Amino acid sequence: AWKKYSAKEFTTPDEFEQAVVKHIETTLARSLFNCDEAAAYSGTALAFRDRLVIEWNRTQQQQTLADQKRVYYLSLEFLMGRALDNAMLNVGMKDVARKGLSELGFRMEDIVSQERDAALGNGGLGRLAACFLDSLATLNYPAWGYALRYKYGIFRQEIIDGYQVEVPDYWLDFNPWEFPRHDVTVDVQFYGNVRKYMDESGKQVSVWENGEIVTAVAYDAPVPGYGTRTTNNLRLWSSKASHGEFDFTKFNSGEYEASVADQQRAETISAVLYPNDSLERGKELRLKQQYFWCAASLYDIVRRFKKSKKAWKDFPNQVAIQLNDTHPTLAIPELQRILIDQEGLEWDEAWSIVQSTFGYTNHTVLPEALEKWSVPLIQHLLPRHLQIIYDINLNFLQYVERNFPKERDMLSRVSIIEESNPKMVRMAYLALIGSHKVNGVAELHSDLIKTTIFKDFVKIYGPDKFTNVTNGITPRRWLHQANPRLSELIASKLGSYDYLRDLTLLHKIEAYVDDKEFRKAFQDIKYANKARLAAYTLEVQGIKVNPKALFDIQVKRIHEYKRQQLNIFGVIHRYLELKAMSPKDRNKVQPRVSFFGGKAAPGYWMAKTVIHLINQVSKVINADKEIGDLLKVVFLEDYNVSKAEIIIPASDISEHISTAGTEASGTSNMKFVLNGGLVIGTCDGANIEITREVGEDNIFLFGNLSEDVEDLRHQHFYGDFKLDPMLQKVFDTIKSGMFGDAGQFSALVNSIVEHGDYYLVSDDFKSYIDTQKLIDEAYKDQEAWLTKTITSVSRMGFFSSDRCIDEYAEMIWNVEPLTPPKQN
């Protein structure tokens, strides 16, 4: 019999060093004589990987034997960031490694920062999926993530002459965290035709045939939980030609080039993450990605279920599949297809299994962001699925007709098929109809989907199909890792790090809000974090900022609805006011640094214009000797997860200023407050629940309310539009050419002045400026400010993604945790 392998685990710095050296010399076949930081990173990662893998295998085996319901989180995006720091935290040997590395002559921070981000996502939705994986493992839920193994993650952003330039992000050079499973493959079909025939029993059978086959290869990555042995799996699919390297028939007949071309076409499917770009919508390759990933994942899930030899009606008791937005909606017709075409179930039985299996999370109410695919494209790429979608729609519309016979015009409104030219498949409707629960991601957002985009469906299915799960963030990465000193301070008062597993325990630090020593320590930490960001800003942007100034930060994807333009117009207004002051008055002004960061989708011109304006304004203001440290403007290039870990702990105030009703939740708002920063924000998304938790006195809210937005937009078009006079001055300044050729910014200015100011920048401008003044005043009273921040941190327990995952488990998935055995 085989002996069970037991990794010789390091427990001392010495043993750790041995493990590192072993990996450098044998796994990497490198000499120790030129061991640089990259090699030290590799050795360290591999040493920790060894320890993860043992628990990973154990967890998978336990989950297989336990035979209980599992969660499958289908997301085209997982914005994981770096893995080593997280692995060290969860394995619990970071201090040992720190000592060992130091004996080898390295600083931990330098080694950790050698790792490239796994940037397989655009922004909030992708990072949410990553936080969820962390919480699922930490809470011992048997859960898998499924996504694509993009060769290129989200592009890297460079700023050249003030303009964004996109650079490809090839991240797979050295990735110790993934394990290729060349034996786990799925053949996925595209194109072809559907043949119908009667079988012996007289039953109609459909066969999808003559298609083109692409093979999906599984790559797995371990997802360790914090303070538990549970290590879940993230499975990424990579595409390759179905015949392997070459089609030998083609190769032998001299069509060498054709055979290589086939191979490249197949590999293109998983080549690149799509940026969230309206110009890229509707591209065939994106639809191919979606189906490729859904088909491979479902095949894998079904294969696992079939091993249990259970009856099909048990499928929803074994499997919960969560759809992260509409991107995986094709999983619905795909499961229906598997059940009726391949497993021979009747339509109704299959459909009830499908509906019980899926849950759908919506992340937007913006109509232009709702996914639609043209019927001809689906017909061409997935002919059988189109038939099934039509049958789903027919059944659904018949149901609606029976139950609402008097509301004939509702039928066209709720139809999955939009009767446009060409016809379009409305993916959100298909996702909703094929799921048993639909959730929004913050209270306001969940209310809004019921009264706007899904209004008719509330009538059809009743309100219980709809629910809210307010987003959350993992305190492991967003407090402990990003802000180790604050984490340590909190632990010193609470007596342990238990609060990292139960964030509601944070409320106990409110008792220290008047404790002199605690306050001093808290303030020192904030200052050190600001100094760290200042050093970073000098190093990479070449801009010197004073850490004593008020740090005002807005970092997120650049989008008109998020209103970075409101922020930069506010900065220009501030500059004009400073310039108009006497030197004596200027001396009383609160110095401020306005930080911006975020990527614009490559084809989103207005967003790119906003970036350009920020950089032009930054150039002018930062060079103004008269203004000096009173105002600095910084655009932080290439905002990503690992940069967020430096930026977020350094804020005094952060901006979450979307037009009310447009930001589904926001999650960085939670991260900033948890790290001792305050928020200026609109009554939108999770800002509202943050206010409920921290108290109105501890947040700076401004602007029009969501219920007034429609009327205001109407007035802009049919009343006369009156531009805010302060904003008028800002526009006059831009037009004067102060920030370079004004023509470059005319589209941005005109979107407000001429084209109806859809995002209400002018309506909210005064309220925004007034609130910024309040902030300047409040910041002058440093003691009162500190009290606000400490109080806020202590009240943020609700926003842990652990709470969020428990709500999904209870209300949507009906799954239980699987506790690992005590260490043997």
Residues near ligand 26Q (CB under 6 A) are 122-125, 128, 274, 276, 280-281, 286, 363, 371, 441, 471, 663-667, 685
DSSP state of 563: T
SS3 317: helix
The CA distance from 294 to 334, in Å, is: 8
CB of 51 to ligand 26Q, least distance (A): 32
User: Is the Cβ–Cβ distance between 543 and 633 less than 8 Å?
Assistant: no
User: Is the Cβ–Cβ distance between 340 and 384 less than 8 Å?
Assistant: no
- The one catalytic residue in 363, 501, 526, 563 is 363
- Sequence letter at residue 600: A
The tokens describing 193, both together, are: 């035709």
SS3 728: helix
**φ and ψ at 546, to 5 degrees?**
-90, 120
Q: Single out the residue of 443, 466, 523 nearest to residue 799, CA to CA.
A: 443
Q: Is 310 a catalytic residue?
A: no
Taking the least distance from each CB to ligand 26Q, the nearer of 391 and 806 is 806
The alpha carbon of residue 60 and the mean position of all alpha carbons in its chain are separated, in whole angstroms, by 26
The CA distance from 629 to 746, in Å, is: 30
Taking the least distance from each CB to ligand 26Q, the nearer of 530 and 671 is 671
CB of 69 to ligand 26Q, least distance (A): 24
Quote the crossing angle between the two packed helices 761-780 and 725-735, to the nearest 10°. 100
Q: Is 303 a catalytic residue?
A: no
Of the CA atoms within 13 Å of residue 813, those in its CB half-sphere come to 27
Q: Is 58 a catalytic residue?
A: no
CB of 168 to ligand 26Q, least distance (A): 17
Q: Which residues of 757-783 are buried (b: 16+ CB within 10 A; e: fewer)?
A: bbbbbbbbbeebbebbeebeebbeeee
- The one catalytic residue in 94, 557, 643, 795 is 557
CB of 240 to ligand 26Q, least distance (A): 23
The CA distance from 576 to 570, in Å, is: 10
Q: Single out the residue of 9, 14, 88, 81 nearest to residue 44, CA to CA.
A: 88
CB of 216 to ligand 26Q, least distance (A): 20
- The one catalytic residue in 671, 716, 788, 795 is 671
Q: Is 556 a catalytic residue?
A: yes
For 67-123, where are the alpha helices, taking DSSP H only?
84-91, 94-103, 108-112
Q: How many helices (H) and strands (E) does the chain have?
A: 33, 24
Of the CA atoms within 13 Å of residue 808, those in its CB half-sphere come to 34
Q: Is 667 a catalytic residue?
A: yes
Q: Is 98 a catalytic residue?
A: no
The tokens describing 770, both together, are: 């007034």
User: Is the Cβ–Cβ distance between 120 and 147 less than 8 Å?
Assistant: yes
Taking the least distance from each CB to ligand 26Q, the nearer of 222 and 661 is 661
The number of beta carbons lying within 10 Å of the beta carbon of residue 299 is 17
Give how far Cα 443 sits from Cα of 655, 685, 817, Å: 20, 7, 26
The tokens describing 402, both together, are: 């029976």
Backbone conformation region of residue 537, classed left if phi is above 0, alpha if psi is from -120 to 50, else beta: alpha
Taking the least distance from each CB to ligand 26Q, the nearer of 282 and 820 is 282
Taking the least distance from each CB to ligand 26Q, the nearer of 162 and 598 is 598
CB of 277 to ligand 26Q, least distance (A): 6
Please, which residues have CB within 8 angstroms of residue 558's CB and are 6 or more apart in sequence? 564, 598, 599, 600, 604, 607, 608, 610, 611
CB of 534 to ligand 26Q, least distance (A): 28
Taking the least distance from each CB to ligand 26Q, the nearer of 119 and 340 is 119
Taking the least distance from each CB to ligand 26Q, the nearer of 598 and 666 is 666
CB of 361 to ligand 26Q, least distance (A): 7
CB of 667 to ligand 26Q, least distance (A): 5
Q: What is the H or E stretch that residue 80 is in?
A: strand 78-81
Alpha-carbon Rg for the chain, nearest whole angstrom, is: 28
Taking the least distance from each CB to ligand 26Q, the nearer of 366 and 458 is 366
Taking the least distance from each CB to ligand 26Q, the nearer of 301 and 809 is 809
User: Is the Cβ–Cβ distance between 506 and 694 less than 8 Å?
Assistant: no
CB of 663 to ligand 26Q, least distance (A): 5
CB of 273 to ligand 26Q, least distance (A): 9
Taking the least distance from each CB to ligand 26Q, the nearer of 281 and 735 is 281
Taking the least distance from each CB to ligand 26Q, the nearer of 359 and 685 is 685
Question: Nearest residue to ligand 26Q, using CB?
Answer: 124
- The one catalytic residue in 562, 563, 574, 795 is 562
Which of the residues are catalytic? Answer: 363, 556-557, 562, 667, 671
